[in-house]
Amino acid sequence: MAIRYASPLNRLVDVLMRLPGVGAKTAQRLAFYLLKASREEAMKLAEAIVEVKEKIRMCERCHNIAEEEQCVICQDPTRDGSMMCVVEEANDLLAIERTGTFKGQYHVLQGTLSPIDGRGPDQITAKELLERLRSGGVKEVILATNPNVEGEATALYLARLIAPLGLRVTRIALGLPVGGDLEYADEVTLGRALDGRREMG
């Protein structure tokens, strides 16, 4: 039988446990830390959470995180409108930005395809991507999904989806070992991967 704490504390443990990578033990440790912390420190955390939910939204163009209707990249007039890099998550976009190698536009899919998990194209922003590409301007699409089975499935699908548009479609590959997450790649590896991208479709 688990020990039941006073209910506000229970509630905090419950919500913390829903965070990715946080189990029961960690949730309890975090909750007790916050209980002992100064009111000021706890409020700072609470306010930061509220602020992020109120001020950060999804860019209406590329689905990156944004503070306004469009993200800073979409608003930047110096970015090259003829190149578009397609990534799984906003984290991957940040990783590629850190390399400083890429100066074009992005599109964030917000997920991947997975036959074995039954995740299809309606669960990513593929339709929005196609609409953006149809509206013109982009000459090359770089598929920068993760080099694992889900990322490959997604890239294979997108390559055929956009093939009728007659654009140059490339896939990043060189330098990235299969099975890893883009988010954890170091700048040199990721930069080289972008330089060594290959034709697809």
Q: Which residues bind Zn ion (CB under 5 A)?
A: 59, 61-62, 64, 71, 74
Residue 104 or 180: the one with the smaller Cβ distance to another protein is 180
Task: Report the partner that residue 200 touches, choosing among another protein, Zn ion, none (CB closer than 5 to 8 A by kind).
Answer: none
Coil, strand or helix at 32:
helix
148 part of the interface to another protein, by CB under 8 A: yes
Q: Residue 25 Cβ, how far from another protein at the closest point, in Å?
A: 13
Amino acid identity, residue 81? G
CA distance 78 to 135: 20
Q: Output DSSP code: residue 69.
A: S
Q: Residue 27 Cβ, how far from Zn ion at the closest point, in Å?
A: 34
Phi, psi for residue 195 in degrees, rounded to 5: -65, -35
160 part of the interface to another protein, by CB under 8 A: yes
Residue 161, judged by CB atoms within 10 A of its CB (0-12, 13-18, 19+), counts as middle
Residues that bind another protein (CB under 8 A): 20-21, 113, 115-118, 120-122, 147-149, 152-153, 156-157, 160-161, 176-181, 184-186, 189
